[in-house]
Amino acid sequence: MTLYFILALLILMTLWLGWRYFKLRRGIQALLDQLKRGDELSESANELGPLASLRNTQHAILRERLQSAETQRSRLSTILDQLTDAILIADADGRVQFANPAAEKLFGSPLAGRSVVEAVRRHQLADAWRRCRETGEAQTESVEVPASRHFLQLIVVPDRDTRGGTLLLVQDLTRVRRLETVRRDFISNLSHELRTPLASLKALTETLQGGALADEDAAPRFLGRIVTEVDALTHMAQELLDLSKIESGQVELVLRKVEPLSVLRSACERMRVQAERAGVSLTLEETATPPKVQADASRLEQVLVNLIHNAVKFTRRGGSVTLSASEEEGAVVFAVSDSGAGIPSEELSRIFERFYRVEKSRTGSGTGLGLSIAKHIVEAHGGKIWAESEVGHGSKFSFKIPASR
């Protein structure tokens, strides 16, 4: 009897262990299936509960880290996309693995998969990249592209994370170089413009000191020339001061409704004496009556005086300068046309730059600030200014100001 009882107990224990084994195996299989699918594990109260809890914790941490990495990647991608400098990343084989939009705009797209030499095209830039790979040190190279008149600077550094990989940064320094050229031209022009009246003043004063002051006929003439030269220096200093104030936003416009023809008449009268001395006819066309504009009348007149002054100065004796104003698409277009020498087409895009002067086609003194001042004043009124010209057929300077509502 005891033997049967023990045997029955063993059978029951075997069945219970088998059932527990089967249940555990089924739980493990279910856990594996959930892991494969990436599902959240059910933290049951059985033996697999702690394992599921641990896995869920690790999964949450991993998910958080992946989300953080994706956020950083997105931010970095946005920064690279918005950069104006070209960025290229090349692998150990010299193949471009990444190029931002600025790079594809500069060198042409698509760049991914192409060799660095093929991508950058310029042999100076390719040589700098080769030196970086050979030495493992950062390299810098500059190159001018005559066809597009661009000036590029390459900085290439080794990628420490990938053996043999490189990071290339290409900067377009065209504007910086152009501004440097303008600065040098300005210093040269200003030095020349100052030297001429100062030399004249020195000669005149020395002549007066040498005895001409006692000459009743010569003394007034010399003193008159001194006044003229001082006025020229004063005008130059005033132009520099005006431009500095306008560019720094220190000049406030006194806006009111202004009659375009009234401003044109005032500017015309101010410049009539200069035109007569130069033997140039100055005409105001009043065939139309354009609407009023919301503007600072004195600043608007300053723009017109600058344009008329240039037109008269660069028009030969016997030539003509014509002023007009007309309505165009909710705005008033002011125009100053001359029959002068004209401006080469390649110079038109630069004539409104500070200190720029068209030396070859036009002669005359001046710092080259008048048109730049005019441009800033017009833009401060919400308008735009432009020039049309053909060598030998005169020029036409126009600016548009929104009509008053």
More confident residue, 288 or 335: 335
Rounded Cα–Cα distance for residues 405 and 399 (Å)? 19
More confident residue, 247 or 105: 105
What is the pLDDT confidence band of residue 198, given thresholds at 50, 70 and 90?
confident
Q: Which long-range contacts (CB under 8 A, 24 or more apart) does 249-254 make?
A: 251/299, 251/380, 253/295, 253/296, 253/299, 253/380, 253/381, 254/296, 254/298
pLDDT tens-digit map of 258-300: 999 999 999 999 999 889 989 999 999 988 889 999 999 999 9
What is the pLDDT confidence band of residue 361, given thresholds at 50, 70 and 90?
very low
Mean of pLDDT values over 219-235:
81
Yes or no: say if 385 and 352 are a contact pair by the CB < 8 Å rule: yes
pLDDT at 335 over 90: yes
Check residue 4 and give its pLDDT: 62
Mean of pLDDT values over 357-365:
51
SS3 (DSSP) at 331: strand
Nearest to 203 by CA among 233, 225, 234: 225
Check residue 257 and give its pLDDT: 94
CB crowding 290-317: b at 16 or more within 10 Å, else e: beebbbbbebbbbbbbbbbbbbbbbbee
What is the pLDDT confidence band of residue 35, given thresholds at 50, 70 and 90?
low
What is the pLDDT confidence band of residue 17, given thresholds at 50, 70 and 90?
low
Check residue 303 and give its pLDDT: 93
Point out the least confidently predicted range of 196-200, 326-330, 334-338, 356-360.
356-360
Point out the least confidently predicted range of 42-46, 81-85, 307-311, 316-320.
42-46
Point out the least confidently predicted range of 65-74, 209-218, 313-322, 352-361.
352-361
Check residue 185 and give its pLDDT: 73
pLDDT at 86 over 70: yes
Nearest to 357 by CA among 313, 399, 398: 313
Rounded Cα–Cα distance for residues 254 and 298 (Å)? 9
Measured in whole angstroms, the distance separating CA 10 from the mean position of its chain's CA atoms is: 90
pLDDT tens-digit map of 115-141: 888 788 778 888 888 888 888 888 888
pLDDT at 360 over 50: no
SS3 (DSSP) at 361: coil
pLDDT, averaged across the chain: 79
CB neighbourhood size of 195 (10 A): 10
Identity of the highest mean pLDDT range in 75-84, 207-216, 290-299: 290-299
pLDDT tens-digit map of 152-185: 888 888 887 777 788 888 888 888 887 787 777 7
Check residue 145 and give its pLDDT: 73
Rounded Cα–Cα distance for residues 249 and 237 (Å)? 18
Longest dimension (CA), the chain: 161
Check residue 297 and give its pLDDT: 92
Check residue 300 and give its pLDDT: 93
Rounded Cα–Cα distance for residues 56 and 49 (Å)? 10
Provide the sign of the torsion angle of the four alpha carbons 222, 228, 231, 236, taken in this order. negative
More confident residue, 354 or 130: 130
Going from the C-alpha of 331 to that of each of 41, 213, 320, 381, the distances in angstroms are 71, 57, 26, 12
Q: Are strands 86-90 and 96-99 parallel, antiparallel or unpaired?
A: antiparallel
- As a whole-number percent, the residues of the chain with pLDDT over 90 amount to 20
